[in-house]
Copies of this chain bind each other. A is one copy, B any other.
Amino acid sequence: MRKYDNLVVNSIGKIVPSEVNGKPETPFQGVGKYIPEGRKYGAPISSCTNYPSDGNKLIDSLKESLIRAGLNDGMTISTHHHFRNGDLISNQLFDIAKELRVKDLIWFPSASFECNSYLIKYLEDGTIHHIEGSMNGPLGRFTSQGKMRGLGVLRSHGGRYQSVQDGEVHIDIAVIAAPTADFFGNANGVDGPAACGSLGFALADSQFADKVIVVTDHLVPFPCLPWQIQGNYVDFVVQSDKIGIPEKIISGTTEITKSPDRLFLADLTARFCEKAGIIKDGFSFQSGAGGISLAVSLYFKEIMIKKGIKARFARGGSNKHLVAMLEEGLIDYIIDGQTFDLDGVRSMRENPGHTWSSPFTSYNYHGKGNFAGLVDVVILGATEIDINFNANVVTHSDGYLLHGIGGWQNCLFSKTVILTVPLFRDRIPVIKENVTTICGPGELIDVIVTERGIAINPLRQDLIDLTLNSGLPIVPIQELKNLAEKICGKPNLPNFTNEPVAVVKWVDGTILDTIWQVNESTNFIP
């Protein structure tokens, strides 16, 4: 018996559920086509009468705070992922839920990491019903195997803010692990032993959750400044011995790649940007934390020094290389959603030009604009790209859900979007006829840079013209696909059952694609 019968076809021809976890959903209607109606969600009105008159909201333990917050069956509990793989609180809170025999919780993290595969046992024993948020690695595989009771819901960082703001997701209890906080609940990520930089991913949670718990291992006297999280949204403050493992909070991906292939890719990307006239005085850019992206920044730096120009701003995730550019005067501002190393944390704490942002400012599509569209060029990756420039970042070619979306979808609104990818990985082509899952519609993706050539989206005739006699290896995307298949052979297609296990939302809350259960008995071995 199928668990999901209500399937419809959306505007890009993908079959998606019209109902997810009991709630009706809107299928994707095209980029910019769905216009929301109605009003933002209004959290319950509080009264100071019900809070300590001296501002002291300290509670003895996380358990006690969860009880006082009314933890109960079926509630939605949110956490943030600023501690990445060093998170100690998310798992702990479900230990408490288990101890209290609470069932069927919905976990709504801003992302999950390897360390959270600890929670599989709670998905199995009924403590957690399902997860709405990125499911990297083992949690993703568990989901792809059809073992999670509810449907996973994958949202971009901006989409997560949008879903909470618009009332699509109602958070009963937000648990915000905070590297520094005061007894009133003001909190930040720039100080303390578990310093992680920003707390922006918890902003929506603080603003809209019914109950908000701040957990800290570094309590300071009021006022805790900066107050990235404002205590006026906070119900309880809990002191904990240790909220994160500092060495795991840092992503470990801020080393420049040493691979000649990847350095070549990065250099080619930078050269493309130079030839296309993107690297000019006052420009702006965003490149991620992976080895290739970091290398791109350094090639940008070389070009900027050569040209004697500087950038107006760079978007983080920040790292030591970006911070160096800020401190050397090559960038006026870093606008930063998350810091990827301790130099990033230090800089956010010290440099007025290094400012923390949030999914609200940067990515929320249901705001009056957001920062994404102001960025001149963004360099991203992908697991797969098809010949119509549609791209995938969540599943692999064997069908397994193994990654979250992060800010990837949101960044597609940048003025120029470049996906820098190898033509194939482990002899599996990256450029394909069709992608397993569409996370980004091709119309928003401008350039694909591979080691075998650069494909420009035909929609960007301006870029085609600008690079016409540049000496760069510009090729049709079809050629890249053919070349990949020539080297690797025609790729196998994953074998799915007809059961959805998760959905991919677009930035406007509509459903862009479905992730299907992998039929492990018949699937190919990658």
Contact = CB atoms under 8 A, between A and B. Distances in A.
Interface in A181-233: 184-185, 212, 221-223, 225-227, 230-233
Contact of A232 (B48, B233, B333, B370): B370
A361 B47 contact: no
Given A313-B223, A369-B232, A35 B55 contact: no
A470 interface: no
Contacts of A370: 48, 232
B222 A367 contact: no
Contacts of A241: none
Interface string A439-451: 0000000000000
A508 interface: yes
Q: Report, as a range, how many residues of chain A touch the other chain.
A: 35 or more
B415 A369 contact: no
A336 to B, nearest CB: 11
A232 to B, nearest CB: 4
Q: Name which of A45, A52, A227, A312 has the most chain B CB atoms within 10 A of its CB.
A: A45
A48 B33 CA distance: 11
Given A37-B45, A45-B37, A223 B368 contact: no
B47 A222 contact: no
A118 interface: no
Q: Name which of A49, A235, A369, A413 has the most chain B CB atoms within 10 A of its CB.
A: A369
A443 B6 CA distance: 61
Contacts of A35: 47, 49-50
A57 interface: yes
Closest 10 pairs between A and B when the two form their complex, measured CB to CB: A39-B42, A40-B42, A51-B369, A232-B367, A32-B49, A55-B374, A36-B45, A42-B42, A53-B373, A46-B368
5 contacts: A38-B42, A39-B42, A46-B367, A54-B374, A232-B370
